[in-house]
Structure 1
């Protein structure tokens, strides 16, 4: 028989603590050493920091976001009245049960490794074209000049979104990452979410209508065919088209910056990689494990569950901290060591269970291409003084929004492919 939830550690945890940005490893280690869970009485949330606890939460058979309920908790009023809540309800991650399985099955087959690997040459070409634009400058703000544009270009090409439209639409989706978190949303952010999504929905509604009149071999045409065959509803087609566009660029951009930053902070590992690019796949996985952009994943369960010996009542919001889980020495004894020679381990940066990220293969390829292209082309790269900026609005996500790099232009390998 498990313990009552009230007997979990009363060690204080603040999900808005700036240390989740500045020094998350130390804070997470402290939380794991003090019971591994924290029940936040003011909100009724249970925060989970261990690998075992996070896996159990993410794999829980009936765990879901309970979309409308969780948003009502965040904004303190009936969220069903908000446009963004209605717009998101047919997006894959907000679906549950049979509907979730059906929609995921339809979409996931378009992101299988074989299909993604076929995209690699185009991703490599785009990466080098972007580097061509700044390699002789000797400095670059990597997020705007490269990290955003690389995955945005790939998902835009898959959906056939024009160059003129892609960055405008991406700007209207600037709060997309916040939707998947659990922290309160201000009225200003809610208003911006509503306004941006109205524009996005209009754009993709028109894009779908145009594509139906001129079908091709692109991803959107494939999804339209699935819809016409009765496998998706029109609302699901629309929500998952713009959802794939947003999800296919935003989180990957942050992961690229985190990977570049982590490698520059571990020069011995970076030199090891540059001497042996066969380690690239390992390096990508280790960057994702050691300092991925994942924050807290929310699940609410319909039935009582036992979590690390504690009975969690049904309806309790449980937040699993994936980054903390990835650094848990009870799961991986040397988890605090960054080692690109490490054999692949089952880190949680892409989630786990029914809601595991279906774009993980594309993200891995894109991050790997980005890392190899940058460090091959630019030579010895340094992070500029005060060159790292963090998006504090997104806490507990650890999302860099600025990374200023410097290098010697004369050492850059102009036009290398």
Structure 2
């Protein structure tokens, strides 16, 4: 437990997203924030922390007054913000060509087009192939007697699935995870300069690779999503080449980062709750609700940020236009106002309205795919390795926003 002490401004200095102790154990701090200061200003990042479920949920859905970006309503200068450093321009050019960091009407148009190719029915049709990949990985892992569950099972499954779906040649798939991990460093709080340069370099290399591949598929279409995205249209509207690249980068990054981290933290939660793990082994039909509960219990994306486009008021605190709010998903998912006994891992919890995939217009497009992957991954490991157990207590990676374990050593 991280001690909570009052700072001169009456806040809680225990919220420290750069502290290994806080990253490993944030939930007691969240409880203090929810109870004592549900809206608090965090000076190191110049953000307002929002910790209660009702507030996080409402603000996620308020796309008129809050946004992932403000550039659709104002320039950096008009919004009272410094423009991004010039060296970051290639990174943001790639990212803002996708739908993650844009707002309506651009977001509406991009999501409409991409949704024509990335449908829940299409995702469900992938289940047999996902089950096959998961079974092969779990069987090989069990036959070897265990190892690092993250490197040998959690990472290969979603990377293989999204790469196959997009049509990335097998020989190139080893490039994807490093590119993705490096790009995601830009989304951490106050990222070091070195990490920023690394993220820019990864974005350029990733985009150049996908651009060449996309041009090949335009000339010689295949049975893959890059080819599909290149030809989808709505009333004559199509994705531009930059939008196609930005969408593929988003699908590749979002398509596996959260799933990898969710797999590792979910298994670690089960290991810390052996009675619950035994229940899942005895009742595998619980898997759909179990996955939802594991996603709630230890949220892979602990925070999402929004810009305040029009002044808002939360619990009597006025947050002016131009501010940034930090919506604490990990805290919202442990709010006792919504979840009975929220610190208990209950694999049969129903209903379970967790916010792990967000809410509102930016609700995660890949949520159905993540659910199928997690269900099949756990199903395969429970069958192939019924006696799986941890070797040592794992360490968490130093990143807070996209939170996950470095490795998870297990034996069978």
What TM-score comes out, normalization by structure 2 length? 0.90
Aligned to 1:410: none
Residue equivalent to 1:20: 22
Q: Is the 8 A contact 1:296 1:396 kept in 2?
A: yes
* C-alpha distance after superposition, 1:20-63 (max 9, x if no partner): 32212111112112221211245431011111121122112232
What is the aligned counterpart of 1:51 among 53, 73, 79?
53
Rounded Cα–Cα distance in structure 1 between residues aligned with 2:257 and 2:206: 15
Return the offset for 1:405.
0.9
2:183–2:202 contact (8 Å) kept in structure 1 = no
- Structure 1 counterpart of 2:157: 150
User: In structure 2, what is the Cα distance between the partners aligned to 1:219 and 1:396?
Assistant: 29
| Residue 213 (structure 1) aligns with | 219
After superposition, the Cα gap between the structure-2 partners of 1:42 and 1:256, relative to the gap in structure 1 and judged at 3 Å, is: closer
The structure-2 alpha-carbon separation of the partners of 1:54 and 1:340, relative to structure 1 and needing over 3 Å to count, comes to: same
1:178 pairs with one of 171, 179, 185: 185
Partner Cα separation in structure 2 for residue 97 and residue 77 of structure 1: 21
| 1:152, distance to aligned residue in structure 2 (A) | 0.5
CA distance 1:329–1:124, shift in 2 (3 Å): same
Question: 3-state SS of the aligned residue for 1:401?
Answer: coil
Change (3 A) 1:40 1:292: closer
Partner-residue secondary structure (3-state), 2:391? strand
Structure 1 residues 343-376: Cα deviation after superposition (integer angstroms, max 9, x where no partner): 1321011111111111000000101111111111
Would you say 1:239 and 2:242 are equivalent positions? Answer: no
CA distance in 2, matches of 1:179, 1:107: 24
Task: Give the secondary-structure state (helix, strand or coil) at the position aligned to 1:230.
Answer: coil
C-alpha separation in 2, matches of 1:365 and 1:79: 39
The aligned residue for residue 412 of structure 1 is none
Query: Mean Cα displacement is larger for which, 152-161 or 23-32?
Result: 23-32
**Cα offsets for 1:356-398 (capped at 9, x unmatched):** 1110000001011111111111111111124x12111x12432
Cα deviation for residue 150 of structure 1 reads 0.1
Unaligned runs of 5+ in 2: 1-8
SS at match of 2:142: coil
Normalised to the residue count of structure 1, the TM-score between the two structures is 0.89
C-alpha distance in 1, partners of 2:70/2:186?
A: 10
Q: Secondary structure at the match of 2:410?
A: strand
Shift of 1:317: 0.3
> What is residue 12 of structure 2 aligned with on the other side?
11
Kept in 1, the 8 Å contact 2:69–2:101? The answer is: yes
What secondary structure sits across from 2:407 in the alignment? strand
Structure 1 residues not aligned, in runs of 5+: 1-7, 408-417
2 CA distance for matches of 1:76 and 1:404?
44
Give the whole-Å Cα distance in 2 for the aligned partners of 1:288 and 1:43.
27
Match of residue 399 from structure 1? 404
Find out whether 1:199 has 2:200 as its counterpart: no
Distance in 1 (CA, whole Å) between partners of 2:379 and 2:44 is 46
- Counterpart secondary structure, 2:16: coil
Counterpart-to-counterpart distance in 2, 1:347 and 1:295: 12
C-alpha distance in structure 1 between counterparts of 2:201 and 2:401, whole Å: 25
Q: Please state how far the C-alpha of 1:96 moved relative to its aligned partner.
A: 0.9
Alpha-carbon RMSD: 2.2
Residues 336 and 342 of structure 2 are in contact (CA less than 8 Å); yes or no, is this contact kept in structure 1?
yes
SS of the residue aligned with 1:173?
helix
- Contact kept in structure 2, 1:50 and 1:324, CA below 8 Å: yes
Out of 15, 31, 47, the residue aligned to residue 29 of structure 1 is 31
**Conserved? CA contact 2:183–2:203, under 8 Å:** no
Q: 2:279 aligns with which of 272, 285, 308?
A: 272
In the alignment, the residues of structure 2 paired with residue 67 and residue 245 of structure 1 have an alpha-carbon distance, to the nearest angstrom, of: 25
Aligned length: 394
